[in-house]
A and B are shown apart, each in its own frame.
Chain A
């Protein structure tokens, strides 16, 4: 009996451990323009967005002068712990009781799809930055959702097509066993096949698997040329590490379908050199991005990811729209955003399409060899630029009713 009790308590504690939370940081409402960001602050995606994302929004507010037409601008943030219900509840609470004017969605597609529903119901602008699922502007599009940084379609079109064109004809996928992984694999398979490649197999790997060597040996047995990593965060990091350790990289080339600069930084160039990846932004692109990134670095002690730059951009453009319309009324601001041209450190001549997709360039990058990197965080070489609409879902493919 004692054993049973102890074990039951252990199981409860385990559930708590997985959901370990930091308390939400919320401030008291006033007569202000209030920007909210709900993202992963404590778990696997906390480095690519998290506190850095909040800081980027603060930088945007500061760069706008701290006030818009005499009204104070504030940011509030919360940790959704990668749980869709937590994200939706928090969003609802903020809209109902905090006078939230705009919600910025951080990482995790599930959480963002849930928040999109709340924002649409409350008729408030929802700017998605960190989530990848293309469903946000496809079958689940709403008039209030704008998808800012990237999506699974763009990732597939970028890395998938480029790798096939480089001669990587046969693919084997290592796929995270949940909605995001499946979508990324499906989107990439389409692109691979359309470019004359073929998919010889795949293995579905449980999320947060501790050891990838078994799955990698199966991939190696497939004799495919390319190992497509349809996973993210810690799973990508550990699979790349194991692929090197077991010499898989000698017979197969890795294609990381969703890789952030923080992943590269944490793995090191020795392990990641030569890898292709697609991203919406890179800090070391030009003088303007470098200058902004160094400011960010002074605060966070690391270079910004594309998502953090995207958070800055979303907040900046929203505030510009409020300034231009002299109002924080949803319809007025959205109408303005939907006909504006966006020019900031994140994008040039960006614009919003009918489905809510923010159209901007995407980049295919290759990780540098250690010898070619001149300073810490100098990791990428831009190999190809996907201009404008090239990277995204086409009108022929879309299931978004708003854009038919």
Chain B
């Protein structure tokens, strides 16, 4: 049998595929972070917690009111997006123009509170959320058996990433947004409501995190610490991609998922630090990240 670096090509392709699946996930989560940092200059440490709240929202809707997965996919991001708007209006708004550290501390504190509330209510073992009926089963790709649900996750996150990129880089709304963050006063003078734009951006970032949470619910256990386990990697993705760069976080997310997947084959023990090793190297060579612009 043909081999690549000592492992059968089939197994190699399988791991590549899995890396892509995880990478799609990283991409979608880091996308929300990048949008918020790029446009609001806030290091949103609450992103992981909002992702967790999204997953819990889906689970609670199903458990309490029988709302199925497909509706949850729309409703949970709306609910969490609204929560994001409230957070922005009541707290973050006061921090604009200050050192980004304040925003980081605030959002970090928020994430601890959110995590604590859910831990207190639901314990740490987490809740089980079933894969929706239509996506059960698996497809034999020849080199591996890919659960249909994971394929759907890849597809969904690619669509979301492309959609967000398009919205920000190619539409009039995106142009206002980009201009508003460059020079709010000037844009406001043209009659654009900049505070409203900023508020909606944070809400949309929160909604993106929640959407990832709903997509993750059937794959992982819906547990209070699910966000904090992931957020560190996602931050690394954003830093490597270049903070604030949307395209950077998407490409880096996918790439790192694949690299991490391959590390799991060749040297599993290192699989959870490989991302940080890459980050260190990238920051030495390109301090602004792969796709970032040096300020």
Contacts and interface: CB of A to CB of B under 8 A. Distances in A.
The answer to whether A and B come from one shared complex is: yes
B119 A46 contact: yes
A237 B272 contact: no
The prevalent SS among residues of B at the interface is helix
Interface string A192-217: 00000000000111101111011101
B232 A14 contact: yes
Contacts of B243: 3, 6
B269 to A, nearest CB: 5
16 contacts: A10-B43, A10-B235, A17-B232, A20-B116, A42-B119, A45-B124, A46-B119, A206-B273, A210-B220, A213-B18, A218-B11, A238-B221, A245-B149, A247-B147, A267-B128, A267-B221
Nearest to A221: B11
The prevalent SS among residues of A at the interface is helix
Given A3-B239, A267-B221, 11 more contacts: A13-B45, A13-B108, A14-B235, A46-B124, A210-B22, A210-B230, A215-B264, A218-B264, A218-B268, A233-B125, A246-B147
Interface of B: 8, 11, 14-15, 18-19, 21-22, 43, 45, 100-101, 104-105, 108, 111-112, 115-116, 119, 123-128, 131, 138, 144-145, 147, 149-150, 219-221, 223, 225, 228-233, 235, 239, 243, 261, 264-265, 268-269, 271-273, 287-288, 292, 295
B112 A20 contact: yes
A7 interface: yes
A234 B232 contact: no
A46 B147 contact: no
B125 A262 contact: yes
Contact of B145 (A7, A42, A209, A247): A247
Interface of A: 2-7, 9-10, 13-14, 16-18, 20, 22, 42-47, 177, 203-206, 208-211, 213-215, 217-218, 221, 233-234, 237-238, 241-242, 245-247, 262-263, 265-268, 271, 302
Contacts of A208: 229, 272
Contacts of B119: 42, 46
Contacts of A47: 123-125
Given A18-B228, A44-B225, A210-B220, A266 B127 contact: yes
Given A6-B101, A238-B221, A206 B269 contact: yes
Contact of B115 (A5, A20, A302): A20
A44 B45 CA distance: 21
Contacts of A206: 268-269, 271-273
A234 B123 CA distance: 12
B138 A246 contact: yes
Nearest to B112: A20
Contact of A238 (B127, B147, B220): B220
B125 A237 contact: yes
A13 B235 CA distance: 12
